[in-house]
């Protein structure tokens, strides 16, 4: 039997995502009520610019006092889509204190203070859901913390930023340079006026922290994630990748150590074989590859950003949280019982592609090979091309630790015959 009294929802933020949430709540009101077991009512919308016309939203619901809105006491669920650290953090904790559950899309806040927010939700017996914080419409958070709750996840490897994937895909398929591809992404609305958060990996690093924490039942903060942007990736790197049967993606990689006693989380450009499912992810799409003991390999794919896809994830959480409210229960909270140490990048083991500018004369290859051997880094393949006294030397290693590779490169720079290190790129997905 459906309850007639509506569940009241406060919306914090009414930009691209927030306005879509409000629209769907209105146009799909009957369906949402049937799925939840009670109507949902938009009880207030907090914005910074109240004078802006917002189609489909009653102006009487609009307020600039977000704190007063979440303090009302009759709000069942607060939907936070304003982003950033403050005032979002204070508003979310205030919502818990005044009896509301929270649905958030705030990846930066959750990556930085997720543990504290979960603790506040638990203290007040309320839900904190955030499917929309990672990979837009792609169902990922809930499968990791619910569907795979009985499994052991060993690795999460993914493309979690649509802007960077669009840029790298353009560089790969058209031969465009980085700036040209970025300009196109900006013109099409895929890149912000200031793309730093995307192209320097900050956005992906926040998502990696959230994914690692859920996958490994361990608290992983943003500061624990190694981050490297993709602004230095060149057409020459793509040419080298193609010669190896690879392409280049900006990847978020969260993995359990071989002995199971620690975890790592990192974001950086990497070459991946064209045979890997992630290699075929084009444009601004996202995809995440999950490897676990029992289920094996799973891939989640779809639009990772945008108003409608992100609003879809928000509404999915809203339905779940409202159902919990009606039943008097709460959903899964933080699971950090494993408390595994988070290792630094130096402990990461992978393959490497190193391009060196060297003197074109006898003995150079032997010198370079000796340096690799002295640092315990095994060489898989070597390719050398020379002309007019200068040459390029491309070395692909077997699996080695980042610390060993760093020591190798430092030693290579000291050789008189090495003019410079043109590029270093990790090779993943094998």
CA triplet 377, 382, 388: central angle to 5 degrees?
125
Q: Does residue 71 carry a catalytic annotation? A: no
Query: Could you give the CA distance from residue 144 to residue 165 in angstroms, rounded to a whole number?
Result: 23
Catalytic residue among 8, 207, 361, 414: 207
Instruction: Please report how many Cα atoms fall inside a 13 Å half-sphere around the Cα of residue 121, on the Cβ side.
Output: 27
Angle between helices 202-216 and 107-123 (to 10 degrees): 40
* Torsion angles phi and psi, residue 111, rounded to 5: -70, -35
Say how far apart CA 67 and CA 76 lie, in whole Å.
Answer: 15
Sign of CA dihedral 96, 35, 39, 310: positive
Specify the residue for token string 């499912």.
277
Q: Which residue has the tokens 């102006």?
A: 59
177 within 8 A of 184, measured Cβ to Cβ:
no
- The residue ranges of DSSP E strands in 162-262, in sequence order, are 226-227, 246-256
- Residues with Cβ within 8 Å of residue 420, at least 6 apart in sequence: 356, 357, 413
Number of Cα atoms under 13 Å in the Cβ half of residue 63: 16
What radius of gyration do the chain's Cα atoms show?
24
Active site residues: 207
């Amino acid at each position: 039997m459906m309850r007639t009294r509506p569940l009241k929802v406060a919306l914090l933020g009414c930009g691209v995502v927030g306005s879509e949430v409000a629209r769907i709540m209105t146009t799909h009101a009957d369906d949402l009520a049937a799925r939840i077991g009670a109507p949902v009512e938009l009880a207030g919308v907090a914005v910074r610019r109240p004078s802006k016309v917002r189609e489909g939203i009653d102006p009487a619901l609009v307020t600039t006092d977000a704190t007063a809105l979440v303090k009302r006491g009759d709000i069942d669920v607060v939907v936070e889509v304003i982003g950033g650290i403050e005032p979002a953090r204070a508003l979310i904790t205030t919502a818990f204190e005044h009896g509301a559950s929270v649905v958030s899309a705030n990846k930066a806040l959750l990556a930085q203070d997720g543990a504290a927010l979960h603790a506040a939700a638990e203290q007040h017996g309320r839900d904190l859901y955030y499917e929309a914080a990672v990979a837009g419409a792609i169902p990922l958070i809930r499968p990791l913390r619910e569907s795979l709750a009985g499994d052991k996840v060993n690795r999460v490897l993914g493309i979690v930023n649509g802007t960077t994937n669009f840029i790298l895909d353009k560089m790969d398929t058209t031969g465009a340079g980085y700036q040209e591809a970025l300009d196109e992404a900006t013109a099409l609305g895929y890149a912000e006026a200031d793309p730093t958060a995307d192209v320097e990996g900050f956005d992906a690093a926040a998502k990696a922290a959230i994914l690692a924490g859920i996958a490994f039942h361990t608290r992983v903060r943003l500061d624990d994630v190694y981050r490297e942007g993709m602004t230095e990736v060149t057409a020459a790197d793509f040419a080298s990748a193609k010669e190896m049967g690879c392409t280049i993606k900006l990847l978020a990689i969260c993995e359990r150590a071989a002995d199971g006693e620690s975890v790592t989380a990192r974001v950086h450009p990497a070459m991946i074989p064209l045979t890997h499912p992630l290699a075929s992810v084009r444009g601004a799409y996202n995809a995440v590859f999950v490897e676990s003991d029992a289920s094996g390999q799973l891939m989640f794919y779809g639009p990772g950003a945008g108003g409608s896809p992100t609003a879809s994830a928000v509404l999915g959480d809203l339905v779940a949280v409202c159902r919990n409210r009606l039943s008097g229960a709460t959903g899964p909270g933080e699971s950090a019982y494993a408390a595994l140490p988070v290792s630094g990048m130096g402990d990461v083991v992978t393959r490497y592609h190193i391009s060196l500018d060297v003197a074109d004369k006898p003995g150079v290859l032997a010198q370079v090979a000796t340096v690799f051997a002295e640092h315990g880094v095994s060489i898989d393949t070597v390719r050398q091309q020379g002309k007019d006294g200068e040459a390029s030397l491309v070395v692909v290693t077997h699996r080695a630790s980042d610390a060993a590779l760093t020591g190798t490169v430092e030693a290579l720079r000291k050789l008189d015959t090495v003019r410079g290190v043109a590029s270093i790129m990790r090779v993943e997905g094998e």
